[in-house]
Amino acid sequence: MVFVQTYLGVGTPDVSIAIDASMNTRRSRLGAAAAAGILSLPLFLLIGPAAVAEDVAVQKDARDPCKEAIIEGYEPNTLGYTKQANDEGFADFTISIKSQLFRDWICRTSGGRSRLYFTFTGRFGFYIRTRYSSPVIAKNYNPKLVWRLIPDPTNDVVPKLNEYAQYIEFAYAHDSNGQSIDTLQEFELQASQHGSATDAMDFVSRGWDYLEVTGKKSFSQGRLGSAVLTVYPDLKFFLRHGLFEGAPEEYYSWEQDSALRPRHAFDGVSAALEYRPFALTREDDSGLVRKSSLRMELKYTTGYEPLARYNTVRGEVGIEVKSLPITLWAQDGYMNSLARYYKKTRSVGLELRFAEF
């Protein structure tokens, strides 16, 4: 695996991130998890408006479309709680950032139409009192090199929201869960230490390199009135031999599960449809609930080999309450985590979700 494992639990055979020298005790493990949460808290406090499906691509300066901070939010940054049918409940948090590369050489010479980004998204689960020793388990690490094209960065902006109405991205990406178990002996040892083969599944190594084409297209004004309707298509192609991962780590001969298939059977073709019915209305932000922040989203994901046989549907409703962007979501299907990507299950969650900082 490309990334170092971040599991803070018992009996991990790999290198773990250490907060201090006494990580063998339960107190130190809980302290490490708490420290990680405290260190990430300033990021969430500095993050701005409620997030949408993917990168909203906010125009920071109309006179200089290339103006961006050194580090900005990419996919939604979240902090919440998840419960799914085949797992214990856990605190679920995601950190996602992007950084523009070669700004003067690429963005400014193209008039803001072309941008090159390095992005990173990491998701983690904190099993607070739902598993022995309350471990923090890495769910996935997803770095990308992204080339973004914005057709008209000066004029093609959603009014009031200052979001680019459309863009298209081409990316080379790596996606893994940072774990290392790839033999039956290691898996059985992990299962015996945790007393559960189901929990031990979270430490089976998964990893892929893939090519991606994604984009955004927003529709507003006209018959939509104060509403904004946005579509986010997303296509992935999982490589048989990647620059970082080499051959994919999908599943192993010792895994005895009839549901096992390559990831491209469950993932690779998706589209999200987001509707914000009052996004362009003007209102006093000092109220308890910001009506203009209401958003509804429906996302469909399936594989491409075979096409549309294993399907995932996710629905979300979000609104700001006293400036806190709250999202309630439910999902039925696959890809709930990389370790168990092939397991069909239902899950629900409540989270704070942010887009920009």
5: in domain:
no
Count of domains observed in the chain: 1
Tell me which residue range forms the domain holding 125.
26-354
Whether the pTM exceeds 0.85: the reply is no
Spatial neighbors of 60 by CB under 8 A, at least 6 apart, are 67, 68, 69
Tokens of 331: 């999902």
pLDDT score at 342: 95
pLDDT along the chain (357 residues), means of 10: 34 34 36 41 44 71 88 94 92 96 96 96 94 88 97 87 94 96 93 85 95 96 85 98 95 90 97 94 76 94 97 97 94 95 96 79
- Per residue, what are the HEC states of 271-293? EEEEEECCCCCCCCCCCCEEEEE
Backbone angles phi, psi at 230, to 5 degrees: -130, 140
pLDDT at 161: 87
Residue 197 resides in a domain = yes
Q: Report the pLDDT value the prediction gives residue 357, as an integer from 0 to 100.
A: 55
Task: Look at residues 162, 180, 131 and name the one whose alpha carbon lies nearest to residue 57.
Answer: 162
Please tell me the predicted confidence (pLDDT) of residue 193. 85
Which CATH number goes with the domain that contains 219?
A: 2.40.230.10
Q: Which of 5, 355, 353, 330 is nearest to 179 (CA)?
A: 5
Q: Quick one: pLDDT at residue 122? A: 97
User: Does 19 fall in a domain?
Assistant: no
Instruction: Write down the pLDDT at residue 42.
Output: 44
Specify if 76 maps to a domain: yes
Judge whether 2 lies within some domain. no
Task: Output the pLDDT for position 185.
Answer: 95
Spatial CA neighbour of 6 closest among 39, 38, 37, 33 = 33
Residue 55: inside a domain: yes
Q: Quote the pLDDT of residue 286.
A: 66
Task: Supply the DSSP symbol for 152.
Answer: -
Residue 1 inside a domain? The answer is no
Is 287 inside a domain boundary? yes
Identity of residue 177: N
Both structure tokens of 338? 């990389």
- For Cα atoms 325, 330, 333, give the angle at the middle one, nearest 5 degrees: 140
